[in-house]
Amino acid sequence: MGKRYYCDFCDRSFPDNLPGRKKHLQGVQHQRIRKLHYDQFRDAAAILSDEAVKKPCKKFQRTGDCDYGDNCRFSHMTPDKLRALQDQAEADKRPKLEDRVPTLEDWLSKRKQRNQPSHGHTDSLNQNPSSENTTVPAEYSLPPGFPPLHELPPSLQPPPPGGWPDHPYEEWG
C-alpha cells in the first residue's frame, strides 16, 4: 500500500502524489475549510477593514439569513456590530498597563523608596548592618509562562533576598 497524505483541515486522506495533493489543495471544499480555520484567529482590526469595504447584504437584512453564510461577498454586520468591532479594535491598539515598559526614572524612584529605611528602624539599621538585607524585600516578577518560583532550576532562580554571600578570592589552577 502506498503512502497517503492526511489533510488536517478536511480530516481526510488521499494518495500522496503531486497531482492528487495539488488537486486537493486547489479544491473548493479545502479552501473554504482552511479559510474558516484561519478566520477564527484574525484580530478585530483586520475584520473591521474587510467588513467596512463590503456593501450590506440585502437578503440578510430582509430575512436575517443568507444562503452563502460566511462566504457571502456582502457584509452581514449591523451598524451596532460594526461599532462594537471598531471599539474592540481601538482597545486592542491601546497599550495595556501590564505591557508598558517602565522608564529608568520610574525604576529609580521605586528603588529609592524601597531602599529608604522607615523612621522607626533607623537606629537598628545603624547598629546591625546585616539587618538591612532583611528589611528590604526584593521584588521579582517572572515572565509569563514561567513555572512557579520553587519549580525553577537553580540557574533561573532569583538571588536570595540579602544577595549572594561574599566569598574570599581563591586562586585557581
Residue range 120-135, pLDDT digits in tens: 444 444 444 444 444 4
Torsion of CA 5, 9, 23, 39, to 10 degrees: -150
Measure CA 122 to chain center: 44
Query: What's the CA gap between 156 and 38, in Å, rounded?
Result: 36
74: which residues sit within 8 A by CB, 6+ positions away?
A: 54, 55, 56, 57, 58, 60, 66
67: which residues sit within 8 A by CB, 6+ positions away?
A: 59
Q: Which helix (H) or strand (E) holds 58?
A: helix 58-63
Task: Report the predicted TM-score, pTM, of the whole model to 2 decimal places.
Answer: 0.47
Is the Cβ–Cβ distance between 88 and 44 less than 8 Å?
A: yes
Residue range 17-38, pLDDT digits in tens: 999 999 999 999 999 899 989 9
Query: What's the CA gap between 151 and 145, in Å, rounded?
Result: 13
Residue range 87-140, pLDDT digits in tens: 999 988 887 766 677 788 888 888 888 887 655 444 444 444 444 444 445 566
